[in-house]
C-alpha cells in the first residue's frame, strides 16, 4: 500500500468509527450530555498510540501512523527498547535516542509500558535481583525524561494483600527519587474502585496511581463503572479504553457493541476531572500475538472517540 493510499484508507476508517457513534439517535445523545462537563471548561482528552502495535512493529511506522492520523503522543513498551530483551533492563542512551526520534517528528513521548515479573515477590536473592533491574530501568527513564510507566503489576487475586502492599511500598521508594509515576494497569485484584482506593490509602505516594482499563473494571464493577470516585480518579494517570461483555472475559468488541456505554463513561471521566490521555485497545481487528497489529482498530476507535468528544 502506498503512503497516499494508506492515508486514505485510515481516513475512511476514522470516518467509519465516527459514523458508528453519530448514528446514535439525537435524543439519546441529549440524555448523555449531562454526564460530561459543559461550557468553556469542556477540555478534550488527548490520544496515544503504542509503538510496536502498528505495521511491522517499528518505531518509524508507529510515528508515521500517528502523524497521518493526528495522534499527538506515543507510548513505548520497555520491550521495544533495543537490548531490553537480551539484558532485561532499559538502556538510557537507546531510550534517549527514541525520545529524540519521537520529538523530532513533532510528537510527545507520553509513557512507557511494562510487565513486572511475578518473581519480584519470590523473596530473598530473586527479589533483590528483580528490584535491581527495575531500579536500572527507572534510572534510564529519568535520564530520558520519561515520567510515566504503565505496568502490569504482580497483583493476582491469590497474592496475599500484605505481600502486595509491601511490594508497592518498596516500589515507591525505588521510583520516587527518579520522578517516575507508576500506573498499575487495572486487573487481577484491581478491578474494583474499592480495592484500588484501598491501595492508595495504604501506599499514598503521589507516584502511585492506575491505568484505568475500562474492560477489566467493567468485570469488577458492572453498571457501577460510571460512578467513579473523584479522589480515585485524580490518581488515574492513563486510560485504556475498550469494550467487553459480562461473562465473556477478554473477548473483543467494537465500542458500540459491548456492554459498556463508552460515551457515558467518557462523560463520567470528564465529570470527575480526568483530562489525561486515552489509548484504545482490544478492538476486534487487533492482534496481540506475532505480529502485533492494531492499525485498523486504532483508526476506527479514533473516529469514534473524537466524535464522542465533539458531540456529548
Distance CA 167, CA 198 (A): 15
pLDDT value of residue 214: 98
Q: Please name every residue paired with 184 in a beta bridge, in sequence order, or none if there are none.
A: 151, 210
Coil, strand, or helix at residue 89?
Answer: coil
Q: Kind and range of the H or E element at 279?
A: strand 277-280
Distance CA 90, CA 202 (A): 29
Q: How many CB atoms lie within 10 A of CB 81?
A: 24
Q: What are the extents of the domains in the chain?
A: 3-311
pLDDT value of residue 4: 54
pLDDT value of residue 287: 76
Question: 168-173: which pairs have CB atoms within 8 A and are 24 or more residues apart?
Answer: 168/199, 168/202, 168/203, 168/208, 169/203, 170/131, 171/134, 172/203, 172/205, 172/207, 172/208
Q: How many CB atoms lie within 10 A of CB 204?
A: 10
DSSP letter for 256, please: T
Q: Which CATH number fits domain 3-311: 3.20.20.150, 3.10.50.30, 3.90.1170.50, 3.40.50.740?
A: 3.20.20.150
Which of 102, 9, 21 minimizes the C-alpha distance to 309?
Answer: 21
What does each of the 312 residues of the chain score in pLDDT, given as a tens digit? 455 545 555 566 666 666 676 665 444 444 444 443 433 345 678 999 999 888 888 999 999 999 999 999 999 999 999 999 999 999 999 999 999 999 999 999 999 999 999 999 999 999 999 999 999 999 999 999 999 999 999 999 999 999 999 999 999 999 999 999 999 999 999 999 999 999 999 999 999 999 999 999 999 999 999 999 999 999 999 999 999 999 999 899 999 999 999 999 999 999 999 999 999 999 998 876 555 578 899 999 999 999 998 887
pLDDT value of residue 27: 42
User: Exposed, middle or buried: residue 291 (CB in 10 Å: 0-12, 13-18, 19+)?
Assistant: exposed
Q: Please name every residue paired with 293 in a beta bridge, in sequence order, or none if there are none.
A: 287
Cβ-contact 22, 309 below 8 angstroms: no
- How long is the chain? 312
**Peptide bond before 165: cis, by omega within 30 degrees of 0?**
no
Cβ-contact 36, 267 below 8 angstroms: yes
Q: Please name every residue paired with 145 in a beta bridge, in sequence order, or none if there are none.
A: none
Distance CA 312, CA 307 (A): 8
Alpha helix (H) residue ranges in the chain: 3-22, 26-32, 59-69, 84-87, 92-104, 124-143, 161-175, 193-202, 214-221, 230-233, 262-271, 295-311
Distance CA 186, CA 210 (A): 7
Which of 210, 211, 204, 134 minimizes the C-alpha distance to 169?
Answer: 204
Amino acid at each position: 500500500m502506498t503512503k497516499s493510499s494508506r492515508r486514505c484508507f485510515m481516513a475512511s476508517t476514522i470516518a467509519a468509527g465516527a459514523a458508528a457513534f453519530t448514528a446514535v439517535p439525537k435524543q439519546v445523545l441529549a440524555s448523555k450530555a449531562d454526564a460530561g462537563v459543559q461550557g468553556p471548561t469542556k477540555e478534550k482528552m488527548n490520544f496515544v498510540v503504542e509503538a510496536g502495535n502498528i505495521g511491522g512493529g517499528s518505531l518509524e511506522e508507529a510515528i508515521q501512523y500517528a502523524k497521518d492520523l493526528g495522534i499527538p503522543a506515543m507510548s513505548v513498551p520497555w520491550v521495544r527498547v533495543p537490548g531490553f530483551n537480551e539484558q532485561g533492563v532499559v538502556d538510557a542512551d537507546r531510550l534517549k535516542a527514541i525520545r529524540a526520534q519521537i520529538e523530532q517528528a513533532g510528537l510527545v513521548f507520553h509513557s512507557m509500558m511494562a510487565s513486572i515479573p511475578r518473581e519480584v515477590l519470590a523473596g530473598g536473592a530473586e527479589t533483590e535481583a528483580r528490584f535491581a533491574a527495575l531500579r536500572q530501568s527507572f534510572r534510564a527513564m529519568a535520564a530520558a525524561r520519561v515520567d510515566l510507566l504503565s505496568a502490569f503489576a504482580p497483583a493476582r487475586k491469590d497474592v496475599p494483600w500484605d505481600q502486595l502492599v509491601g511490594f508497592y511500598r518498596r516500589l515507591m521508594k525505588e521510583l520516587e527519587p527518579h520522578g517516575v509515576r507508576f500506573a498499575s494497569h487495572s486487573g487481577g485484584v484491581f478491578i474494583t474502585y474499592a480495592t484500588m482506593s484501598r491501595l492508595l490509602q495504604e501506599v499514598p505516594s503521589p507516584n502511585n496511581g492506575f491505568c484505568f482499563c475500562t474492560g477489566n473494571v467493567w468485570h469488577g464493577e458492572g453498571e457501577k463503572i460510571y460512578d467513579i470516585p473523584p479522589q480515585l480518579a485524580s490518581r488515574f494517570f492513563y486510560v485504556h479504553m475498550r469494550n467487553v461483555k459480562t461473562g465473556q472475559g477478554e473477548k473483543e468488541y467494537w465500542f458500540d457493541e459491548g456492554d459498556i456505554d463508552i460515551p457515558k463513561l467518557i462523560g463520567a471521566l470528564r465529570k470527575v476531572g480526568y483530562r489525561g490521555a486515552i489509548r484504545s485497545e482490544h478492538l476486534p481487528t487487533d492482534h496481540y500475538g506475532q505480529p502485533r497489529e492494531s492499525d485498523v482498530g486504532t483508526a476506527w476507535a479514533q473516529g469514534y472517540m473524537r466524535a464522542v468528544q465533539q458531540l456529548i
